[in-house]
Amino acid sequence: MSNFWEDRRIVVTGGAGFLGSYVLDGLKKRGAGRVFIPLIEEYDLTQLSEIQRMYETMRPDVVIHLAAVVGGIGANREHPGEFFYKNLVMGVQLIEQARLRGIEKFVAIGTVCAYPKFTRVPFKEDDLWDGYPEETNAPYGLAKKMLLVQSQAYRTEYGFNSIFLLPVNLYGPRDNFNPKSSHVIPALIKKCVGAVHAGVDTIEVWGTGKASREFIYAGDAAEGILLATEFYNESLPVNIGAGFEITIEDLVAKIVQLTGFQGRIIWDPTKPDGQPHRCLDTSRAREKFGFIAETHFDEGLKRTIEWYRTTFYPQP
């Protein structure tokens, strides 16, 4: 263990959220004693005055910016303006105010949604600007990608140490299982486990099942973020992923098997598949700060399903 974390004041925006909970676990293991979380109930980070108040109160040396307005395809389709504006204004103002205060390091968390719709697989960071993102989540993806532009521009002009990381789709215990805003894995787990408990023999799934996705266990993503925070100080964006892809059709079959659902899957091809493929090249993260995702996908899914069952269907 290094002493990087011992004396620094660390602010984790979004620290009370899904990924944030794993980042906080990792900080605790590293002996970070001064970690601060600007809770949404106390700070509206889309407001400049609230960002200034947060910085003045918490006085961080390092900021890990996880906070985001996010959701699955449905939420992105319903709220493109909100997702664009809130994510953009929050990130841009956090970075600017960090620069003005001479904060030592800013870790900006982007999204795989920033990649062009038809990116060569596996996605390499150098391909990030080769086209427009998939339409259903382009506003969110572009808002986040602007933080890369800002980070690089600020490093060039001001020498400000801001890095930009691109995590792929996350999953794991503590995920968001709200059907209005959840992503594909928690949505499928909720449907399958709920159907088993209710004795329902069909579930509906959006799209055709032909699109592919890559998923990283949230604990692994948190480890990648913390390694980058400690060891990476360059302007190039870096993918944080597990380095594999699976079709939605195969994902559904896997979750059906692991949950014990024995009914019928009804596909709704009138609903969008989203981006055709998602799979990251993770070589830069390995080379720059030694990150390799460790959790096998089946094991991660089992942990997630078990957590969901015990949390929402506890045994008497």
| Ramachandran class of 242: left when φ > 0, alpha when ψ lies in -120 to 50, beta otherwise | alpha
CA separation (Å) from 161 to 60, 108, 110? 14, 11, 16
| Given the residues 140, 171, 232, 308, the one annotated as active site | 140
d(CA 146, CA 114) in angstroms, rounded, equals: 9
CB 265 within 8 A of CB 203: yes
Q: In sequence order, which residues have a C-beta less than 8 Å from that of residue 58 and are 6 or more positions away?
A: 9, 11, 36, 38
Q: Which helix (H) or strand (E) covers residue 247, if one does?
A: strand 246-247
Q: In sequence order, which residues have a C-beta less than 8 Å from that of residue 137 and are 6 or more positions away?
A: 73, 76, 83, 113, 274, 275
Peptide bond before residue 173 is cis, with ω within 30 degrees of 0 = no
Within 39-129, strands assigned E span: 62-65, 105-109
Output the six-digit token pair for 293.
Answer: 């995702």
CB 127 within 8 A of CB 115: yes
Report the candidate in 51, 159, 66 with the shortest Cα–Cα distance to residue 105. Answer: 159
Sign of CA dihedral 190, 302, 297, 1: positive
> Reduced to 3 DSSP states, what percent helix, strand and coil does the chain have, rounded to the nearest 5?
45, 15, 40
CA separation (Å) from 31 to 26, 232, 289? 9, 19, 19
Active site includes 232? no
Catalytic positions: 140
